[in-house]
Structure 1
C-alpha cells in the first residue's frame, strides 16, 4: 500500500466526522443530551487526528500523482485548500477538547461552546467539500469545471 492509497483511504474521515458531529450536536441541543454532545466533541477531536494523518500522507501521494503526469496546478490548488482545511480542523479539535471539558464540568457557558462547535463543523463541511472536490479533480479530470 503506497502513500496515495493511504491518502485515499484516510481522506474521507476528516470530512465525514464533522458531518456526523454536526448532526449529533444539533440532536444534543434539541434533546438537551450532554452525552450526545460529548460524543460529537469526541468525533471533532478524532477528525483533527485523522486530518493529521491525511496531511502527512498527502505529500507522498503528491509525488506519486506528479510522476503519473497529473496537472501540477490542480495538485497545488488542492494542497492549498487542504492546508486551510487542516488548520481549521486542528483548531476545531482543540476547541472540541475544551468544549468537552466545559460540558463535563457543567460550566454555565457550555451552550456558547456548543453553538461555536456547530459553526465550526459547518465551516469544516464547507471547506472539506471544496478540498475533497479539488482532490477529485486531480485524478478525475472529467469533473474539472472549465
Structure 2
C-alpha cells in the first residue's frame, strides 16, 4: 500500500462524517431531542479526529501522483490549500462540539449557544470538506475538471 492508496482509503471519512454529524445535529435540534443532540455532537468530534489522519496522508499521496501525466502542480496546490483550511475549520467545529457536550453535561446556561455555534461550524465544515474532496478528485480525474470535454465528443465537434 502506498501513500496515495492510504489517502484514498481515508479521504471520504471527514466528508461523510461531517455530513452525518451535521444532519444528525440538525434533526436533533429541530426535534429538541437531547440524546440525538449529544449523538450529533459526538459524531462531529469523531469526524474532526478522522480529519487528522486524512490530512497527514496527503503528502504521501502527492509524492505518488505528482509526476503522472495530466497532474499539475496547480491542481495539487489548490487541493492542499483547501485541505488545510478544511482541517482547521473542522477541528474548530470538533472543539466546539466537545465544549457543547461538556456544557450540556453541566447544564450550563450557554449550552444551547455552543450547540448552535457547532451546528453553524458543521455547515461550513461540510461545505469546505466537500470542496476539498472535489478538488482532490480533479487531480487524477480530468473528467471532474470544469470545462472537460470527452475526447470522442471533441472529435464529433470538429466534423
- Pick the TM interval, shorter chain: over 0.9
Q: Deviations over 1:94-145 (max 9, x none)?
A: 1111111111111122111111111111101111121011001001011211
Gaps of 5+ in 2: 148-159
Q: Which residue of 2 aligns with 1:79?
A: 80
Residues 2-81 of structure 1: pairs in structure 2 closer than 5 A = 2-69=2-69, 70-81=71-82
Q: Distance in 2 between matches of 1:56 and 1:18?
A: 18
Q: Which has the higher contact order (CA 8 A, sep 6+)?
A: 1
| Over 6 Å off, 4+ runs | none
CA contact (8 A) 2:18 2:44 kept: yes
Q: Distance in 2 between matches of 1:108 and 1:27?
A: 22
What secondary structure sits across from 2:24 in the alignment?
helix
Larger Rg: 2
Q: Which residue of 1 aligns with 2:134?
A: 133
| TM-score, scaled relative to structure 1 | 0.95
TM-aligned CA deviation for residue 13 of structure 1: 0.9
| TM-score, scaled relative to structure 2 | 0.87
TM-aligned CA deviation for residue 44 of structure 1: 1.0
What's the C-alpha RMSD, in Å, of the aligned pairs?
1.1
